Amino acid sequence: MARIILIALATASVFLIAAFVGGRIMMSQAEPVSAPTTPFGPDTRFVETRSGRIHVYERGAGPVILVLHGSGRSVADWQEGFGDRLSQKHRVIGFDYFGHGLSDRAHGLSYGHRLWTQQAIDLLDALGIERVTVVGHSVGGVIAARVAADFPERVTHVVTIGTGMAMDPTQQQLMIPGIGEWIMGRESVFGDTFSEAHRERQERVYEIAGTRAAFLTYVRRQYTIDGMRLLWGVYEEIKAPVLHISGTMDPSIPHEAAKALTARTGGTFAPVEGVGHDVHIEAPDDLAELIEQFLASS
């Protein structure tokens, strides 16, 4: 019996090593661009900060709202309509996380919550902005919470969208070394796209060297190193008013998991009926109205 177990373990190890090596080769072949040179459009630009070059989205004027995208995404999300809607009353600023979008990929194995939280502060400093409302979608809600918890003097309000203590089913297999590399090596874009323009922008992202490796690093850190702090802190440490928003049909982060965060933040919960994970894409007007009402009442 012991021999059979050892043979099975050895076979599995060989399979995973082969998948890892093959996946890495496929990943590198899918990423022929060394570094981006052109931003996504007239509402985007590159900004040099103390931690690296950041691809930034900006529209509108007024009180500043910092918008933070989800896993594997970029500022292309905000260009699908929500940014335009929110910028009618606010100066909306978004940025690609390091390892995502068109921002730098020069941060080794540090891609994750801590890096992106500091990146947000570095960008605000580079732009000369003192205080903001932070709005985050999915993992962006985690980063919004960490910015508010770690830098309370910089945040007036916090909004999370489709954020909760749950594992996204689409990321579970990516946790496994070898399997994750093989999956990412086969993907031209990870995650959904919502228009031809959105798809084209995301395809540009996934042609940049280091994109897939950075994403795998983030996923594996999210459910290990970075995720540990979320079990006992962050949400409880937020001093600013908090609004949690969730689509009632969210397949990635269960509606009840998003609602459960209110007990930890003392915040308010707002469901969006009949909408999935991407509330900012599916119901941008409803989302903007919820945020504006929250800011006006708190």
CATH for 278: 3.40.50.1820
Domain that holds residue 183: 2-297
Q: In what order do the strands lie in the sheet containing 155-161?
A: 44-49, 52-59, 91-95, 64-68, 132-137, 155-161, 242-247, 268-272
Q: What is the pTM of this model?
A: 0.94
Q: How many CB atoms lie within 10 A of CB 195?
A: 13
How distant, in Å, are the alpha carbons of 51, 52, 53, 95, 296 from that of 107?
Answer: 9, 9, 12, 16, 39
Q: How many domains does the chain have?
A: 1
H or E stretch at 4: helix 2-29
CA–CA dist 45, 228 (Å, integer): 34
pLDDT in tens, the chain (298 residues): 666 665 555 565 655 677 677 778 989 999 999 999 999 999 999 999 999 999 999 999 999 999 999 999 999 999 999 999 999 999 999 999 999 999 999 999 999 999 999 999 999 999 999 999 999 999 999 999 999 999 999 999 999 999 999 989 889 999 999 899 999 999 999 989 999 999 999 999 999 999 999 999 999 999 999 999 999 899 999 999 999 999 999 999 999 999 999 999 999 999 999 999 999 999 999 999 999 999 999 8
CA–CA dist 298, 280 (Å, integer): 22
